[in-house]
Amino acid sequence: MTERTPTIETRSFETQIQQLLDLMAHSLYSNKDIFIRELISNSSDAIDKIRFLSLTKKELLEDDSRFEIKISLDKDAKIFIISDNGIGMNHEEIIQNIGTIASSGSKDFIQAMSQDQAKNLSLIGQFGVGFYSVFMVSKKVTLFSRKAGEKEAWKWESTGKGSYTIEPAEKKNRGTEVILHLNEEGEEFLENWKVRSVIRKFSDYVSYPILMPKTDNRSEEEKKKEPEKKSTEYEVVNTGQPLWIRPKKEITDDMYDEFYKQISHDFEKPLTKVHFSQEGVIAFNSILFIPTKAPLDFFHHHESKGVNLYVKRVFIMDSCKELMPAYLRFVRGMVDTEDLPLNISREILQQNKTVEKIRKALVKKVLDVLTELSSKEPDRYHAFWKEFGMALKEGVYLDQENRDKLIALLRFYSSASQDEKSWVSLKTYCSRMKDGQKEIYYLPGETREEIEASPHLEIFRKNQMEVLYLTDPVDEWMFSVIPEYEGKKVVSAGRGELDLGDLDKEAREKAKEDEKKLKGIEDLFRKILQDEIKSVRTTTRLVDSPCCLVSDEGEMSAHMERILKASKQMDFRSKRILEINPNHALIQHLQSMTEKGIKEEDLQDWISVLYDQALLAEGSKIKDPKSYNTRMNKILLKAIG
């Protein structure tokens, strides 16, 4: 490139620009490879403009209609060069777009960066400062540009020290060329493989070819003989056509699987995929995947990979939390839209109505796919549920808008489950309800085995009524927002007074009569256990056990208390109701003893032991194991004389 005798014009940056350049060079140092994305995005935008204008003014193409972005590296001179054959800029546009590009936003940018201790990468570009990222790696930047349709070219140059120069120059073709004289920290970007890896990460799907010199594939021996050999041939280093805009009929399952592995770093194939586009007021393309196995970051939402965001096929950010709710954190994939600016920041994403509409569409599509999977391929859906069911339960509580869809997707083990594959939905449960049954029953516990050992199930077994087993910590929390399903109340089998309707009508009437007969022993239970229990009553809940503990209506269950204690969110035990079985021999024997005038202190051991056994039966710890053993031994010794 030859230059004519220049008339050099020196201009100062706006007031805050020097602060901005210092910030770029130091505070954002760890994100310095972003400058490649910014330069490629600028080139892609410039080509977009000339393509659009050439539709009506073909003469602007100047017989050069093969659009491309070219990157060259000169290790000896420590120079990084990127050029394009886009629209180009004239004198005024260079001053406006380069010389003062950040003048209106630099103050706000500096203030935002000062407040953002994490130095969020996405802030670059939010205020129009993307080009200045080049000063993170450069000691001097030179730019040549000639606007399409004009003959005069211009040279812009700056060291980032407060001023820049602009002067006429010679440039044969339209477009822009940016030359970075790299500083010591930027020398890593003279490595061909390094630049290619950054392009693959950020700009792989830019729709124009990105060219770089062919890789030197000679052997080490050949390189030693001729080390200075440089390639003059270029090759395309980006994919160019994104998978998500290709016709679906051209995409094979292997291509989908490979794309999934690339974005998720998972070695297994996905369980299922969702490839769809939306047009209209909000337009976007998307490919989403549901993994086969829960990823390692499943329980750490802030670390999960999630869904990547592209704008106009340019990578903007990975794990865009604004595109998918936390309960769908297992979904992997990408979204590409043209309805967002390239310089969108995470802060703006959180309040952006376009993003909100895209999010709603994505959630709806994922839930529709899961609904179809659950009805058409129940075995595959059960495999999904085993891995990710707990996340959907979180969604029931958090996502009121989609609650009905999520409730339909719920699956549980129950007293009717034969094995680990025998999951039941609420719909299936209702279809199997006994005649006369008006409520859906559940029982929480640590494990299936613990629940099945609970005395609260005795009456249900007797009447062959199904009970749902809640073994996940989120289950009770979730059921607090499901008071009913298909017109039937959802109630705990271990809370409140049990009323099975017509199924135990006679038993409840008999229990009322028994309560009068057992008044003496009930009063004794109340007196001896007054510091431990809320009240005492007879029950129809029990068949084989003498007594059990139940939570009052609206109160926390013993299982939930144990969960909160384990997480140190509470440190006390609430008082519960002791229910006694009037038909059990031990209760009848104790009543007989009170009628015979046996002293209270002689009955205290019996009553305390029964209370401790009720605690053990529900999975709770007894307060004083040593006293329990002492009392139990005394009772056994009396029994053998």
Q: Of the residues 483, 502, 521, which one is the last residue of a structural domain?
A: 502
Averaged pLDDT, groups of 10, the chain, 641 residues long: 65 65 58 85 88 86 87 96 96 81 44 46 44 88 95 93 90 95 94 92 86 79 64 84 86 89 84 92 93 80 77 82 92 92 76 91 96 95 94 95 97 86 91 90 91 92 93 90 93 86 75 79 91 90 92 83 76 84 91 83 89 91 91 87 71
What is the Cα–Cα distance from 369 to 361, expressed in whole angstroms?
12
CA distances from 276 to 325, 337, 371 (A): 19, 12, 17
Which candidate, 529, 533, 616, places its Cα nearest to that of 574? 533
Residue at 104 is within a domain: yes
Q: What is the DSSP letter of 551?
A: B
DSSP three-state, residue 91: helix
* CATH code assigned at 612: 1.20.120.790
Question: 314 near 328, Cβ under 8 Å?
Answer: no
What is the Cα–Cα distance from 310 to 333, expressed in whole angstroms?
11
Residue at 539 is within a domain: yes
Confidence (pLDDT) at 28 = 52
pTM of this structure: 0.73
Specify the long-range contacts of residues 239-243, CB closer than 8 Å, at least 24 apart: 239/204, 239/205, 240/205, 240/206, 240/207, 240/208, 240/209, 241/205, 241/207, 242/205, 242/207, 242/285, 242/310, 242/313, 242/336, 243/287
632 Cβ contact list (under 8 Å, min separation 6) = 609
Residue at 391 is within a domain: no
- Asked if residue 259 and residue 364 are part of one domain, the reply reads yes
Question: 113 near 107, Cβ under 8 Å?
Answer: no
What is the Cα–Cα distance from 417 to 75, expressed in whole angstroms?
69
Confidence (pLDDT) at 14 = 62
- Asked if residue 198 and residue 140 are part of one domain, the reply reads yes
Query: What range does the domain containing 542 cover?
Result: 505-639
**Residues in a beta bridge with 277:** 285
Residue at 201 is within a domain: yes
Q: Of the residues 162, 181, 216, which one is the last residue of a structural domain?
A: 216
Specify the long-range contacts of residues 46-49, CB closer than 8 Å, at least 24 apart: 46/84, 46/86, 46/87, 46/88, 46/175, 46/176, 47/84, 47/85, 47/86, 47/87, 47/208, 48/86, 48/312, 49/86, 49/87
Q: To which residue do tokens 């291509």 refer?
A: 255
- Asked if residue 110 and residue 181 are part of one domain, the reply reads yes
206 Cβ contact list (under 8 Å, min separation 6) = 40, 41, 44, 69, 238, 240, 313, 314
- Asked if residue 205 and residue 153 are part of one domain, the reply reads yes
- Asked if residue 15 and residue 157 are part of one domain, the reply reads yes
The runs of H, that is alpha helices, within 487-530 are 505-517, 519-528
Residue at 621 is within a domain: yes
CA distances from 403 to 362, 399, 407, 475 (A): 16, 6, 6, 15
Confidence (pLDDT) at 364 = 96
- Asked if residue 253 and residue 212 are part of one domain, the reply reads no
- Asked if residue 415 and residue 343 are part of one domain, the reply reads no
Q: Of the residues 463, 484, 502, which one is the last residue of a structural domain?
A: 502
Confidence (pLDDT) at 228 = 56
Residue 276 phi, psi (nearest 5):
-150, 160
* CATH code assigned at 107: 3.30.565.10
* CATH code assigned at 362: 3.30.230.80
- Asked if residue 473 and residue 432 are part of one domain, the reply reads yes
Strands (E) in 233-376, as ranges, are: 234-236, 272-278, 284-290, 307-311, 314-317, 332-337
* CATH code assigned at 466: 3.40.50.11260
Confidence (pLDDT) at 104 = 37
- Asked if residue 634 and residue 537 are part of one domain, the reply reads yes
Residue at 237 is within a domain: no
**Residues in a beta bridge with 536:** 578
What is the Cα–Cα distance from 33 to 197, expressed in whole angstroms?
10
Confidence (pLDDT) at 401 = 96
Residue 325: count of CB within 10 angstroms of its CB: 20
- Asked if residue 607 and residue 541 are part of one domain, the reply reads yes
- Asked if residue 188 and residue 46 are part of one domain, the reply reads yes
Residue at 395 is within a domain: no
- Asked if residue 610 and residue 541 are part of one domain, the reply reads yes
Question: 631 near 608, Cβ under 8 Å?
Answer: yes
Residue at 160 is within a domain: yes
How many structural domains is the chain composed of?
4
Measured distance between the N- and C-terminal CA atoms of the chain, rounded to whole angstroms: 115
Which candidate, 388, 550, 556, places its Cα nearest to that of 472? 388
CA distances from 353 to 96, 282, 323, 334, 336 (A): 30, 10, 12, 19, 16
